[in-house]
Chain A
Amino acid sequence: MSSDSQRPRRQRSAHASLAAHGEPWVWLTAGALALAIGMIVGLLAFIAARGAATFWPVPLELVELRDGRRVLGEISGREDDPGSGVARRLLRTANFELTGSHFEWVDDAAVGGTSLPEWATAVERLEGGRFHGLPTRLLHGAEVVAEGPAEVWIAYEAAHPEARRRWRQALRIDKVERGELQRELRAARLAVVQARLDHGAGSAAETRAEGDAAEVVARVNAAEAALDARAAALRDHNAGWAVEFETADGRAVPIPLDGIVRAWQPNRLSLGAKIRVYLGRWAEFLTDDPREANSAGGVFPAIFGTIAMTLIMALLVAPFGVLAALYLREYAGRGPVTTAVRVAINNLAGVPSIVYGAFGLGFFCYGLGAGIDELFFKASLVADSQPTFGTGGLLWASLTLALLTLPVVIVATEEALAAVPNSMREGSYACGAGKWQTIRRIVLPRALPGIMTGLILAMARGAGEVAPLMLVGVKKLALDLPIDGTFPFVHAEREFMHLAYLIYDVGFQSPNAQAARPMVFTITFLLVAIIALLNVAAIRIRSRLRRRFVAQQF
């Protein structure tokens, strides 16, 4: 041993100390993390910035061209013309029905002069999209109520809320109350068909049902007449009221007062007023129905559909996944079969989601759903050849996504169960507890935080999924919410809207893609925010469970 100390020290390679300290690896790992964070934060920041900016009132610029034309619009982009290299700007000119386009490229060289007219007004219309112009007159029939921008604007602000209120009432009558009557009518009609199916044509039951139906028809007709009168009264009240605008090229365009959703003059707004417009547009976006092929208005049905579907999916996948994982981990013996099952489950996670969509459509909609229709909703099928459950809907979409996210939950639950210390199980057995008692009272509570992790992952995955949903129930437009005030309140068979699908639809299927693009960012921003919100909620629940059930180190 002592001879060692006399021997000359072995020369260490120059690389040895580098490898021993591992500094390159610190840099490598840190770099990888920084790259990942950079990409994620960059993407989120981009979406957030673009999404949040959509509703901010942008100044309206009046551009006078050298050829004498005048255009009024929001500058929504600048670039060098890829062909000539001339700088140019993209103006959102609106007034589609007059110019045939929403946008116009203007070369800087062609610009004679620009100004920001104080009274330049941006109008969001019910139909026809955005309008840009200067208010000139407020009309009521042939009578001119106000003239000159300032007066018109005062009169407009006084009259507009009332007109909108009446318009909303009329819409409510048409949509809700008339819809209610139509549903009654349909129910009565279907009852007749059902009676015929159950008891045969000409039976007493059918006659009775027909009598009932006739009664309903009479009652509904009377009610409809009353509704017609009310709606007509409201509409008459609004009729004739219009704001006349002058476009940049001098044309006078009257816009019905109740056809104006919102109007603002970005060039003369103070910051506070701009914020009010901004928040007002956000409020409409979050709470209203979509208009104009989803490119304007709100996305409330899609928000509702997304949240409802994600929660129902979580409710469906949690018990299935947890029970399956419990059996796999706690009961199943170790052997080739268990291993095969595990491998199969892991592979399920790699199946393309559209395959789940196809499976959902074939099995749930056309298989199970058709069976349910045959048994319980035959009348609708026979009379209207309209399937109830035999087509896509909230329930089938949730089930399909539950299937899609099942592997995530099973794998996470298995991990969580495996992490429960065996000493706890033994302690429970030693107290005389049976296997199930041990699982229910000790293992499951202790594994709950881990199970929640799986559920969070599953929810995030499910909420952002589009492809399978297109097949099993998500529609471009479905204003009837799957949960509403009509009996039985939860309409799991209804088709619904979904934010992720809306992104695809608005972004790539819209006839007016350029104008809809800001909406795409806003919807994406909203979807990411909702998923984040759901996750934060789940994470908070998890950390509470963890505090309760998982030992701190002492």
Chain B
Amino acid sequence: MQAQTEAGPEKSGISEQSPTPPRPAVDPPADRLVEVAAGREVTAEVHGAVLGETPVLEIDRFNLWYGTKQALHRITMPIPHGKVTALVGPSGCGKSTLLRSVNRLNDLVASVRITGDMRLNGDSIYDPRMDVIELRKRMGMVFQKPNPFPMSIYENVVYSLRIDGENCRAVLDEVCEASLRGAALWDEVKDRLHESALGLSGGQQQRLCIARAIAAEPEVLLLDEPCSALDPIATGKVEDLIQELRGRYSVLIVTHNMQQASRTSDYTAFMYLGRLIEYGPTTDIFTKPILKETEAYVTGRFG
């Protein structure tokens, strides 16, 4: 149910938006977006700084269709190792779809078809021989709405170890504490580890989901609008946490919130109607982007 409703807006967003070209308020008109809306291919502006980083994840000419509707168009972007990369863009531009393609959650949607490839530390993600379950174990994902499992806080955190058959108490205890500390939640829950995770507040639940995602030492951490269901205080805590994760984890975060992108990320990619428009260091994207269209979007003048 949830998957469809989550995927739904993406699909309908595309179909609703594509016929009406946006009218940017800036002058001269953002013709690149008009081009895109008209269905013509445009080349993405990728800043040189991005290419200088060691990539943890390489997205290579990736196309994706929901049925006959193309949702992603030839996305090519490297995700730098140990950095926070933000995906921004208006609703329905394919950010979440791209994120869900990285750990192949889109496999669960029957109508999805893809071409192109992604590589995680050099291993092809869409290689037919790739074991999806093994692949997902190398990534962590946090969703829009906190989705703690119906079990204790402790069991939530060590879930990925449990499904691997790890039952050694000492190992589990250690991972649990380290992950909860990593997610800045340890001090709040250390006395009630064995109580139901469903009793936590929304912000705590989301940090618990982050703890769960980092428990398996993922190579990439995927955050899909992790703060959209949280109040400002909880959002602040999660943002602080993302700051702390920088360097230790490679993070790919989808966000609607420009301030959040500028505060938390090292690199920012601007997407529009399933295309990558501009991709570069966050400071450059927000202060001196190559394209006026990008500037118009990040300053809130459209979208």
Contact (A429, B143) CB under 8 Å given A445-B150, A551-B198, A554-B201: no
Query: Min CB distance, B233 to chain A, in Å?
Result: 14
Within 8 A of A (CB), among B203-238: 205, 209, 212-213, 216, 222
Query: Min CB distance, B117 to chain A, in Å?
Result: 20
Residue in A418, A424, A429, A442 whose CB lies within 8 Å of B108: A429
Give the docked Cα–Cα distance between A552 and B162 (Å): 25
Give the docked Cα–Cα distance between A428 and B108 (Å): 13
Q: How many residues of A contact B (CB 8 A)?
A: 27
A433 and B163 contacting across the interface, CB-CB below 8 Å: yes
Q: Smallest CB-CB separation from B4: which chain A residue?
A: A422
B147 and A423 contacting across the interface, CB-CB below 8 Å: yes
Contact mask for chain A residues 424-445; partner B; CB cutoff 8 A; 1 contact, 0 none: 1111111111100100011001
Contact mask for chain B residues 129-158; partner A; CB cutoff 8 A; 1 contact, 0 none: 000011011011101010111110000000
B108 and A432 contacting across the interface, CB-CB below 8 Å: no
A445 and B163 contacting across the interface, CB-CB below 8 Å: no
Counting chain A CB atoms within 10 Å of each CB, the highest count among B134, B148, B198 belongs to B198
B91 interface residue per 8 A CB criterion: no
Within 8 A of A (CB), among B191-208: 196, 198-199, 201-202, 205
B134 and A418 contacting across the interface, CB-CB below 8 Å: no
Q: Smallest CB-CB separation from B149: which chain A residue?
A: A442
Q: Smallest CB-CB separation from B197: which chain A residue?
A: A551
Contact mask for chain A residues 483-507; partner B; CB cutoff 8 A; 1 contact, 0 none: 0000000000000000000000000
A251 interface residue per 8 A CB criterion: no
Give the docked Cα–Cα distance between A551 and B149 (Å): 9
Contact mask for chain A residues 411-423; partner B; CB cutoff 8 A; 1 contact, 0 none: 0000000100111
B150 and A423 contacting across the interface, CB-CB below 8 Å: no
Residue in A426, A434, A437, A552 whose CB lies within 8 Å of B2: A426
Contact (A423, B136) CB under 8 Å given A433-B163, A442-B150: no
Counting chain B CB atoms within 10 Å of each CB, the highest count among A422, A431, A550 belongs to A431
Within 8 A of A (CB), among B1-25: 1-4, 6
Give the docked Cα–Cα distance between A425 and B201 (Å): 21
A549 interface residue per 8 A CB criterion: yes
Give the docked Cα–Cα distance between A431 and B199 (Å): 21
B147 and A421 contacting across the interface, CB-CB below 8 Å: yes
A446 and B150 contacting across the interface, CB-CB below 8 Å: yes
Residues of A within 8 A of B145 (CB): 423
Give the docked Cα–Cα distance between A424 and B201 (Å): 17
Residues of B within 8 A of A429 (CB): 105, 108, 136
Query: Min CB distance, A436 to chain B, in Å?
Result: 10
Would you mind naming 20 contact pairs between A and B with Cβ atoms under 8 Å apart?
A: A422-B1, A422-B3, A423-B3, A423-B147, A424-B147, A424-B149, A426-B147, A427-B141, A428-B159, A429-B136, A430-B140, A431-B137, A432-B133, A432-B160, A433-B163, A445-B151, A548-B196, A549-B198, A552-B198, A554-B205
